[in-house]
Amino acid sequence: MPIKLGILFKNFGPYHLARIEGCINSFKNLPIQVVALELGKSQTEYAWVTERRQENYPIVSVTEDEQLERINPFQLLFKLNKVLNQINPDVLAIAGYFEIGMLFALMWCLWHRKSVILLSESIENDAPRFQLRELIKQKIIQQYDAALVGGTPHKRYFTKLGMPPQAIFLGYDVVGNEAFHPALISHFPHPLKSSYFLAINRFIPKKNLAFLINSYATYRQQKGHEAWHLVLSGDGELRSEIEQQIEKLNLTDWIHLPGFLQQEELLPYFAHASCFIHASIQEQWGLVVNEAMAAGLPVLVSNRCGCFEDLVLEGINGFGFDPTDQEALSQLMLKMSSLDVNLTAMGQASLQHIQQFSPDYFAQSLKQAVEYSLA
């Protein structure tokens, strides 16, 4: 009998579908049956519109008719219990451990004596830490048989929380690299007539966009009319403040706000950007950095991002910076837009390095976690 492996996310976006497809492809000749589960078909936090190729595999949605944030919690848990009883997985991989639906899924596994794997990208510095909350977290994490986490700092944190190192596997944070490959996207029309830095974020405080804009203003002042432009793709609660800041700095002709773009709409920007910047003050991983590297771009990444330690090869595919040091980022912008670095070589290094972080990597690591949890 094949092992029935349930993989539970809140909602399927492009990243999640790539991971599931990686498992489907990697497990096709193995006795592992993958069941893709999501709590809801849509949510307000991420307004994804994704193509679901369900001819390859089914996606089971616990709730289908309303956005996840608007669903009555008791109704959600009732439906989740029903779905889990119907599917009856041998192993359940659960994305997250503090959301009520995910906690209930853990309790269901414990009650039914099923193996359970935690999928997580938490790092120690991604949020303020309080002793009581950390003690509760330790107790919760000890209930899992294994964990699949993002990278090196994530494993360090989970080891600190008491999970055995041998039960922690790396490879959770991946994207569908092939969709961004330069050979596939270079034909898209150039969205700007000049060179530009690219940043993609929700417009929320932790993304540190006011800092990025101020850093760019200093760079623009020093570089003059030879400066690259800056594209800030995204939307959110801070949009009006960002627009006012750009206008106040007289940068409306230099900083571009195309809005929230779906993956297909982002491809022309990835195809023709000269450098990618991610300036978050707190970030569990930062999957847009994966995407930028898969598009063959040099990267400038905040050293507070969970991906920094594993993805940024200092001086080879880009540079890290302190997201509170405005001058440091301005100087890096000057460096990248000068003749001091080989942008082509850096982009090729990004492209080569990110191949290690693929949906197949996720699948193989999850397979190891399943085998460990059942041993």
- Per-residue pLDDT of 218-250, as tens digits, reads 999 999 999 999 999 999 999 999 999 999 999
> What are 123's two structure tokens?
């790092």
State residue 133's pLDDT score: 83
Q: Over the Cα atoms of the chain, what is R_g?
A: 21
Instruction: Say what the pLDDT of residue 57 is.
Output: 74
Q: Read off the pLDDT of each residue in 87-107 and give the average, rounded to a whole number.
A: 94
Choose between 54 and 165: higher pLDDT.
Answer: 165
Q: Checking phi first, is residue 286 left (phi over 0); if not, alpha (psi -120 to 50) or beta?
A: left
Please name which of 163, 166, 160, 154 lies closest in space to residue 122, comparing C-alpha atoms. 154
Window from 2-6, 13-17, 20-24, 279-283 with minimum mean pLDDT: 13-17
* Whole-angstrom distance, CA of residue 160 vs CA of residue 124: 9
Are 126 and 158 in contact by the 8 Å Cβ rule? The answer is no
Residue 55, Cβ density class (10 Å: 0-12 exposed, 13-18 middle, ≥19 buried): exposed
pLDDT at 51 over 80: no
| 99 to 103, 105, 356: CA distances (angstroms) | 6, 10, 30
Lowest-confidence region among 19-23, 63-67, 341-345:
63-67
Whole-Å CA distances, 301 to 256, 273, 294, 305, 313: 20, 15, 15, 7, 11
Helices (H), the chain: 14-26, 73-87, 100-111, 131-141, 152-160, 182-185, 209-223, 239-248, 263-272, 287-294, 308-311, 326-336, 343-354, 359-374
Across 52-74, average pLDDT:
73
Report the candidate in 230, 207, 206, 235 with the shortest Cα–Cα distance to residue 218.
230
Q: Is 127 helix (H, G, I), strand (E, B) or coil?
A: coil
The whole-number average pLDDT for the span 66-70 is: 69
Q: Helix or strand or coil: residue 200?
A: strand
Q: What pLDDT score does 73 carry?
A: 84
Please report the pLDDT score of residue 190 as a whole number: 96
CB-based contacts of 2: which residues, under 8 Å, 6+ apart?
31, 32, 33
Q: Name the band, by pLDDT with cuts 50, 70 and 90, for residue 139.
A: very high
Distance, in Å, from the CA atom of 48 to the CA atom of 283, rounded to the nearest integer, reads 20
Strand partners, 120: 149
- Going by pLDDT thresholds of 50, 70 and 90, the confidence category of residue 46 is low
Average per-residue pLDDT in the chain? Answer: 93
Strands, sheet with 168-170, edge to edge from the N-terminal-most edge strand: 59-63, 32-40, 3-9, 91-95, 115-120, 146-149, 168-170
pTM of the model: 0.92
Which domains can be identified in the chain, with CATH numbers? 3-174+358-374 (3.40.50.2000), 178-354 (3.40.50.2000)
Distance, CA of 36 to CA of 21 (rounded, Å) = 10
> What does the alpha-carbon distance between residue 171 and residue 361 come to, in Å, rounded to a whole number?
6
Instruction: Please provide residue 199's backbone torsions phi and psi, each rounded to the nearest 5 degrees.
Output: -135, 140
pLDDT category at 158 given cuts 50, 70, 90 is very high
Structure tokens at 275: 């450098």
Angle, helices 209-223 vs 239-248, to 10°: value is 20
Whole-number Cα distances in Å, 50 to 25, 61, 259, 276, 285: 19, 14, 18, 24, 21
Residue with token string 């579908």: 17
Residue type, 368: Q
CA atoms in the 13 A half-sphere facing the CB of 312: 24
For residue 29, the SS3 value is coil
pLDDT band at 375 (very low <50, low <70, confident <90, very high): confident
| Helix, strand, or coil (residue 345) | helix
Please report the pLDDT score of residue 55 as a whole number. 47
Quick one: pLDDT band at residue 52, thresholds 50, 70, 90? low
